[in-house]
Each structure stands twice: as structure tokens, then as C-alpha cells.
Amino acid sequence: MKKIIAVASLTAVLLASCTPKATTAAAPSAATSTAEQIAQGKTIFENSCGRCHKLPDPSSHTSVQWVGIMNSMAPKAKLNDEQHQWVYDYIVSAKK
């Protein structure tokens, strides 16, 4: 009986540790920023992103790819959620 409980407990622990973690990073919503906020996004993009590396051409990636790039880079640039949205909206609008 103790073996069954031990095996069941071990199985439960293994299953729980192997499940994918929930991610809190969400895709920025469709362009909701004003023209002024998008202009701020351009400034943030140029100053914050350009501080560490050459600025990528907004048309070099799709909107979906930019979501992943922004989700990985925004924390490094210490952008808050609003700034993240503004930069994303700037990049998407600059592609057109």
C-alpha cells in the first residue's frame, strides 16, 4: 500500500512539473494608441532600443513576429505596458 501511494505521489509530482507554464506576456492589442502616443513610441523605439543595438527595419518582420520580439525585448528596455503598446503601434504603423 505504501508503494502505491509513493508511486502515485511521484507520478503526480512529475506530471505537475512537466506541464507547460502559463505565460503572462500578452500580445499588444490592435493599434489603440493616439497619433501622439505613436510618436512617443517612435521616440522610445529610437532611444531605448537603439541604445543597445542597431534599430531593425519595422518591415523586416511581420506583426506577429513583432509581438514575440517586443515581448522578449520590452522587459530588457524596462518598458511599462503603455510604452510597450506605443512602440508596438509605432512599428506596425511604420510598416504601412
Q: What is the CATH number of the domain that holds 60?
A: 1.10.760
pTM over 0.75: no
The proportion of the chain whose per-residue pLDDT surpasses 90, expressed as a percent, equals 58
Question: 30-36, long-range: CB within 8 Å, 24+ apart, which pairs?
Answer: 31/89, 31/92, 31/93, 32/85, 32/89, 33/85, 33/86, 33/89, 33/90
Beta strands in 1-96 (DSSP E): none
Question: Rg (Cα) of the chain, in Å, rounded?
Answer: 20
Domain of 58 in residue numbering reads as: 35-94
Cell of 46: 529610437
60 within a domain of the structure (yes/no): yes
Cell of 90: 509605432
The 10s digit of each residue's pLDDT in 34-49 is 999 999 999 999 999 9
Q: Which helix (H) or strand (E) holds 57?
A: none
At residue 42's C-alpha, the angle toward residues 38 and 46, to 5°, is 165
- Total of domains in the chain: 1
9 within a domain of the structure (yes/no): no
82 within a domain of the structure (yes/no): yes
Residue 24: pLDDT band with limits 50, 70, 90: very low
22 within a domain of the structure (yes/no): no
3-state secondary structure of 33: coil
76 within a domain of the structure (yes/no): yes
86 within a domain of the structure (yes/no): yes
Q: How far apart are CA 91 and CA 36, in angstroms?
A: 14
